[in-house]
Amino acid sequence: MAVTIKTQHEIELMRQSGKLLEEVHDTLRDFIKPGITTKDIDRYGEELIRERGGIPNFLHYEGYPASICVSVNEEVVHGIPTEERKLKEGDIVSLDAGLIWKGYHSDAARTWAVGSISKEAAELIKVTEECFFEGIRFAKAGCHLYEISKAIGTYANQRGFGVVEDLVGHGIGTSLHEDPQVPNFRQKGRGMLLVPGMTIAIEPMITAGGKEVQWEDDDWTVTTVDGSLAAHYENTVLITDGEPELFTLTHRE
Ligand code: CO
């Protein structure tokens, strides 16, 4: 599928979509505490999406069975919520959520602490977020796509963290996944020229250990091979002539 350039009208709908998703994430943030199950998060998240008139875009996507991807500790992304998995003090939990509003997709992820966590875990969450903000320094017209990739990967490695290479960010619009792919590590060449009206989901997946990941037997849950902790941070981003617009940044951030 080709890269799409959004019109002003489409941009406004994506802005609305992102705003609704921002509210969902902001509400889920306060819901995270020891004792809840990952299924509780999915149930509440789906309710928050639907009560705003959104449609959960992950539900049934290629057979994925939930609305919110909930990934705990060494799970990197695409964890499947269950009634059995209870969060406990000291865990870190990544919530990846998305919705469709008037035909336009939004997609965002955050990693939260469950109660008080180790210094290492807190540092991982912070660096993962910083990776995103390093990357978007190059998310503007006139820059090239892989400048974003390189900035993310370089920053993570300098801080001593691993960068997952098997999963990448993506264009987004009337589909959840559009071209281009947005890797989180250095590529050959500069990649495509960025132009105003492109909308991309930039989503570093960072580990406290190595970059190798594996797929669990449910064929969805991605975990670190070395068992190290992993974090995920993602926003839906609009390329403009100036600073990028982050459709899914929460007002608390
Ligand atoms: Co995404």
Domain annotation covers residue 176: yes
pLDDT tens column, 91-123: 999 999 999 999 999 999 999 999 999 999 999
Neighbours of ion ligand 1 (CB under 5 A): 107, 201
Domain annotation covers residue 3: no
Domain count, the chain: 1
Domain annotation covers residue 56: yes
Single-letter amino acid, residue 187: Q
Q: Which of 157, 156, 174 is nearest to 233 (CA)?
A: 156
pLDDT at residue 38 in the model: 99
pLDDT value at 198 more than 80: yes
Domain annotation covers residue 127: yes
pLDDT tens column, 154-176: 999 999 999 999 999 999 999 99
pLDDT value at 253 more than 90: no
Strands 75-77 and 222-224: antiparallel
Q: What is the CATH number of the domain that holds 41?
A: 3.90.230.10
Q: What does each C-alpha distance from 224 to 76, 166, 202, 212 come to in angstroms?
A: 7, 11, 20, 6
pLDDT value at 1 more than 80: no
pLDDT at residue 192 in the model: 98
CA of 234 to the centre of ligand 1 (A): 7
pTM (whole model) above 0.85: yes
CA of 150 to the centre of ligand 1 (A): 18
CA of 177 to the centre of ligand 1 (A): 7
Single-letter amino acid, residue 139: A
pLDDT tens column, 214-239: 999 999 999 999 999 999 999 999 99
CA of 20 to the centre of ligand 1 (A): 16
Domain annotation covers residue 191: yes
Domain that holds residue 176: 8-246
pLDDT value at 74 more than 90: yes
User: Mean pLDDT for the chain?
Assistant: 98
pLDDT at residue 50 in the model: 98
pLDDT at residue 2 in the model: 82
pLDDT tens column, 25-39: 999 999 999 999 999
CA of 98 to the centre of ligand 1 (A): 8
Domain annotation covers residue 108: yes
What percent of the chain clears pLDDT 90, i.e. is strictly above it?
98
Tell me the sheet residues that pair with 230: 207
Domain annotation covers residue 209: yes
Q: Which of 219, 222, 217 is nearest to 232 (CA)?
A: 222
